[in-house]
Amino acid sequence: MIEVEYLPEEVGPHIIKISQDSIPVEGSPFTCNVYDVANILVAGLTKQCHMGRPCTFTVDASKAGEGTLELVVTTAKTSVRAEVQARSRGLYDVTFVPQELNPHFINITFNDEHIEQSPFECSILEQDYTSNANENGQLSVIRGRSAAIELSIDRAVRVVALLDPHGNESQFETAQGTHGKTRILLKPSYVGKYTLETQPSGQGRDKILINVFDPSKIQVMKTGPAFVGEGSDFIVDTSNAGRGALSVNVKAAGQDIKHSIKDVGSGRFEVTFFPYLPIPHKIDVKFNGVSVARSLLEIKVKDPYQGKTVTASGMGLFAAKVNDDTSFIIDTMGYKSNDFDILVTGPPDGVPPFEAIPLRCYQQKDGKLLAEFCTTTVGAHKIEVLLSGQHIRGSPFECQSFDPETVLILDVEGKEQHQLTGQPISFKLDRRRSGLSDLDVVVTSPVGDDLPIEIKGLHHEPGVDLVEFKPEMAGKYRFIIQYGGTEIPNSPLTFNVRDTDAPVDFRAFGQGLQKGQVNHPCYFEIEQFNDDSLPRVDILHPSSGQPLKTNVEKTSPTSMRITYVPDAIGSYLILVQHEGRAPLEYKANVCNPKRIQIIKGFDVRQAEFSPRLALQQEVLVLFHLNEAGVGKLEAELILPNHVKAKVDVHHVKERAEIRFLPQEYGEYALAVKFNGILLPFCPMRGLLDGGEASKGSGKVKLTGTGLVSAICQEDNFFMIDGSRAAQGTPDVKLTDATNLPLAVRLRKVDADVYEARYSPSTPGDYMLSIKWAGHLIKGCPLNITASPGSASEQPASKVFCSGEGLRGGTLGKDIRSFIDTRKAGPGELSLHCVGPRGKTAYCELNDHQDGTFTLNLKPQEAGRHQLAIKYGGNHVKGSPFTVRVSGSPDPDKVKVYGPGIDHGVLAMYQSRFICDTRGAGAGQLTVRIRGPKGAFRVEMQRESQKDRTILCKYEPTEPGDYRIEVKWSGENVPGSPFVVMIFDTQEELSRFLQRGYSPTGYSSDMYGTAPYSGSQNYGVVPWAGGQ
């Protein structure tokens, strides 16, 4: 035996090769993962927290190597639930909420070894009685800003004085707050500790300390250039900002970048981040939760190989906005442009999948190449840059395409008009269909200050964020929401916050409460929540202040519909009031789009752009909005290829301007809306005519297999699409090898779109010549080979169908497939799908206008379905298809039973239990068991793949608290989680059943663990069959 010792000097996998006589021994090479717990850093964990308030800190294990990170928060009596959220690989945010005043202990281990200083001790203070304490529980306000704090003090207690850090008295006001609290209004002038003195009746003075800080005094300083693959530093100086908690976020292309924060003393912090993309990185610095002024800076990150080899650079390699042009630069290092190949491919889950994205490439004066493209779907696009067939450095690149227009604001209806001070404002942002990018929300207070706001990702709804904010004073709050730097639809949101906490016993809703159009009916509705009479409604005219005539229609005993017709622009005040109570106020902004005038860029009388459209010359359309009322313009441009593109509108005082750049020949249509209402003269159309050169430049589109080959004695088809060309008609001539003409039948199927049919009688070569408006179409004449006809040459045999939706799916979910008819030529596509009990499934067909289709099947029942796909009246290859549709998962139908979910004694404990999934539909059974570490293992088995009854065992070897979670498709089944107590003796079990005694002395409730960690075992059984 030979014993080998070695001392690794760095973390990571080490390869060990062992050979004998130059022959590797069995198992060689071996891999040893080296780790170092000393490299784990804990930041932001304070020694004191307030009861009932979240305590959050960060654990950075990114430099520790591979292993299991385990975290447990306990008190002397019990464990405390902690939530762990991964920010990036190896970097975690941990949050727990203390519920008792006893000290809390944070135990952190890595591969069963305690990290340095673990367990950490945290003292718990009483819950803060103020309403604007920061996340550390400290009462804090910002210097120079008006602030309102609320105190839960007895009415007999007087607020005597407010002393600044120098001991001088400072001005303040008191007012009645919400829920019987006392509100203090102040505007501090200095950074430091302010003292608020209160005096109970006949007693001495009590002191309340207020921390005043100034985030504008924080400086962010770069220390040098940043390069990909190397750690880069910058300094954050908080020495003049007062006391507070610092947080830093680094992002690039919508992704969090790993970073660390080091306290270097004197209020200075060194932030190190590790860039892996050669693009500008955004740095967001917050102090006490407040964004630092001018902190959202960008640090340019360079590619260390730039200038040394062929490289590509630019934001277009990593991020792109849907329907907007994006670009990147290729440093050719002297190579010719035709040595390069550039491919941009759409996402695999796009429609159609792996779509080839058109790309334009321009040679610049410095020899570099500018590549420009436009994405039409969200998702990860692959960009390949090849030099002489080989990928350049970094290729292929991944570009995340995003669409701000599809971000949805959820759970906001009815909340915007009236909120109470001290009560949270909350709503959700759904960006599941919007791709990956930066989400930015800014809230502005009634006095114009930007306020801190919290955005949380929802674990149970990936891609949905929860926005929460707690207003401290009455007034109007504006939420500006941007995605990828672009404001989303319906932003900004405005919330009216009031002081009174009188109950609101009705709900008002409808567009008529917010906006309207002159001389057009406006509507809104009111629903009463109790048995009171319906409220009174008054609508006051913006000029005279007199009530407007309204029509009230009672739609039910507890609801009514109000209609009014505004006769002038302005803000109409809507008062909704119950007798004896203060009215609720709504403001409806009424506009008149007909009063909008075009100053420049489009001649309404001639219905054309002025000057006329010209290639690569910017078009400017200028509008005068003064007489139209309050609102904003939105514009959409329809390009010659029928793609819709958003156009930026710039508002300057009483004017607005729209600019766009025509880049191809054809018709353009500009649709402009004011407050969501289409302007009377829209869409504004213009034709960019390329003259004689464009008539034969390939703007006429030819499609169909009849352009390449033909079948004798059968009709052969092709299409002529001149909708993007100058005005004209087609002239088609088909001749055989002896120059004899063959009849071609033309049929107009749409404006400037024609179908051509011909039927050759003998095999051989034919010559096809097509002209448009007297000019030969680019690529013509074409050579067509005619072959003898056969059954295998039917157009239906050339239709290709693919996708999982042809095999099966789940009821209530998308069942999609892809149909390609491009090789079959023109023809009629028909579909029919019927279920096992004769119910017809709805077939939703999406035509991509290029001979390809996406089929979305929507069945009404589970079981085997027969899907017939025909083309030209004949079944396509594989049709009819058998589609197996499974029932949707129903966790309530899963039954769990057996001795393994009951309390017991270890020596005679039977840990088996049954999970019966019959009738629960398609899904995945997950069994997760937590208990004493190393005390058990999980086994799951079933007799066959079709058996829906699963036997589970976990064989405990130690007494303790066991928690069994049984989930079906991610949702708990009835009774789950099951808490099982296993004891050493029957006496202990009897005592527990009588008094609730625990075998470990405390309840081991669920605790947070980092991914792939733990003292927990899992079992997973998938089921995708029918009911």
- Yes or no: say if 307 and 630 are a contact pair by the CB < 8 Å rule: no
Assigned domain for 2 exists: no
> What's the Cα-to-Cα distance from 648 to each of 279, 604, 677, 739, 903, rounded to whole Å?
24, 21, 17, 56, 66
Exposed, middle or buried by CB within 10 Å (0-12, 13-18, 19+), for 853? buried
CA dist 606 and 902 (Å) reads: 85
Assigned domain for 136 exists: no
pLDDT for residue 453 is more than 50: yes
pLDDT in tens, 107-161: 888 888 888 888 888 888 764 433 344 434 457 888 887 777 777 766 667 788 8
pLDDT in tens, 923-951: 778 888 888 765 466 777 775 555 678 88
Q: Tally helices (H) and strands (E) across the chain.
A: 2, 98
CA-based nearest residue to 973, from 908, 892, 899: 892
Local confidence band at 698 (pLDDT 50, 70, 90 cut-offs): very low
pLDDT for residue 689 is more than 70: no
pLDDT for residue 898 is more than 70: yes
522 and 420, same domain (yes or no): yes
942 and 1003, same domain (yes or no): yes
* Tokens standing for residue 384: 């390949």
CA atoms within 13 A on the CB side of 249: 18
- Yes or no: say if 374 and 326 are a contact pair by the CB < 8 Å rule: yes
CA dist 630 and 628 (Å) reads: 7
Task: Using the 3D structure, point to which of 886, 911, 942 is the last residue of a domain.
Answer: 886
Local confidence band at 564 (pLDDT 50, 70, 90 cut-offs): very high
pLDDT in tens, 212-247: 988 888 888 877 788 888 888 888 888 888 888 788
The residues, any chain, with a CB within 8 Å of residue 556's CB and separated by 6 or more, are: none
CA angle 71, 77, 79 (to 5 degrees): 25
pLDDT number for residue 1002: 35
Residue 65's CATH number: 2.60.40.10
CA dist 753 and 757 (Å) reads: 14
378 and 422, same domain (yes or no): no
164 and 245, same domain (yes or no): no
Task: Using the 3D structure, point to which of 668, 688, 708 is the last residue of a domain.
Answer: 688
Better-predicted residue by pLDDT, 22 or 204 = 22
444 and 331, same domain (yes or no): no
pLDDT number for residue 173: 75
Q: What is the DSSP letter of 943?
A: S
DSSP-derived pairing of the beta strands 904-905 and 978-983? parallel
* Among 130-139, 717-726, 831-840, the least confident range: 130-139
Better-predicted residue by pLDDT, 156 or 983 = 983
> What's the Cα-to-Cα distance from 356 to each of 320, 361, 612, rounded to whole Å?
16, 15, 33
Assigned domain for 920 exists: yes
Query: Whole-number mean pLDDT of the chain?
Result: 80
Local confidence band at 401 (pLDDT 50, 70, 90 cut-offs): very high
pLDDT for residue 897 is more than 60: yes
pLDDT for residue 524 is more than 50: yes
564 and 435, same domain (yes or no): yes
pLDDT number for residue 562: 92
Assigned domain for 17 exists: no
731 and 582, same domain (yes or no): no
Hey, what amino acid is at 421?
A: T
Assigned domain for 285 exists: yes
For residue 284, the cross-strand partners are 249
* Tokens standing for residue 695: 């008539």
pLDDT for residue 171 is more than 90: no
* Among 446-460, 519-533, 796-810, the least confident range: 446-460
CA dist 237 and 218 (Å) reads: 6
The residues, any chain, with a CB within 8 Å of residue 448's CB and separated by 6 or more, are: none
- Yes or no: say if 70 and 1015 are a contact pair by the CB < 8 Å rule: yes
Average pLDDT score over residue span 57-83: 79
Average pLDDT score over residue span 277-300: 76
pLDDT number for residue 52: 65
CA dist 1020 and 923 (Å) reads: 11
464 and 570, same domain (yes or no): yes
Q: Is 601 left (phi over 0), alpha (psi -120 to 50) or beta?
A: left
597 and 579, same domain (yes or no): no
Average pLDDT score over residue span 43-56: 78
Local confidence band at 876 (pLDDT 50, 70, 90 cut-offs): confident
CA dist 78 and 89 (Å) reads: 30
pLDDT number for residue 321: 92
pLDDT number for residue 373: 92
Assigned domain for 28 exists: no
Assign 305 to helix, strand or coil. Answer: coil
Average pLDDT score over residue span 21-42: 85
Average pLDDT score over residue span 313-318: 89
Sign of CA dihedral 1022, 1025, 1026, 1027: negative
Average pLDDT score over residue span 690-709: 62
Local confidence band at 566 (pLDDT 50, 70, 90 cut-offs): very high
pLDDT for residue 295 is more than 50: no
pLDDT for residue 394 is more than 80: yes
Local confidence band at 1003 (pLDDT 50, 70, 90 cut-offs): very low
* Tokens standing for residue 753: 């779109």
Local confidence band at 690 (pLDDT 50, 70, 90 cut-offs): low
pLDDT for residue 175 is more than 70: no
423 and 550, same domain (yes or no): yes
Average pLDDT score over residue span 396-408: 90
pLDDT number for residue 43: 83
Assign 316 to helix, strand or coil. Answer: helix
Assigned domain for 651 exists: yes
pLDDT number for residue 783: 80
Local confidence band at 539 (pLDDT 50, 70, 90 cut-offs): very high
683 and 697, same domain (yes or no): no
CA dist 859 and 983 (Å) reads: 52
CA atoms within 13 A on the CB side of 631: 32
To the nearest whole percent, how much of the chain has pLDDT over 90?
Answer: 7
**Number of structural domains in the chain:** 9
pLDDT number for residue 737: 73
Q: Where are the alpha helices (DSSP H) in 531-612?
A: none
pLDDT in tens, 332-388: 888 888 888 888 998 887 767 788 888 888 888 888 899 999 998 899 999 999 998
Task: Using the 3D structure, point to which of 63, 92, 125 is the last residue of a domain.
Answer: 125
Average pLDDT score over residue span 768-787: 81
Name the residue range of residue 371's domain: 311-402
Local confidence band at 202 (pLDDT 50, 70, 90 cut-offs): low
pLDDT for residue 13 is more than 70: yes
Hey, what amino acid is at 889?
A: P
649 and 673, same domain (yes or no): yes
Average pLDDT score over residue span 974-990: 89
For residue 9, the tally of other CB atoms under 10 A from its CB is: 6
pLDDT for residue 93 is more than 50: yes
pLDDT in tens, 589-612: 888 988 898 988 998 877 788 888
Assigned domain for 626 exists: yes
* Tokens standing for residue 449: 């200050």
* Among 154-158, 725-729, 841-845, the least confident range: 154-158
Local confidence band at 49 (pLDDT 50, 70, 90 cut-offs): confident
- Yes or no: say if 343 and 372 are a contact pair by the CB < 8 Å rule: no
pLDDT for residue 990 is more than 70: yes
Local confidence band at 328 (pLDDT 50, 70, 90 cut-offs): very high
* Tokens standing for residue 324: 């907007």
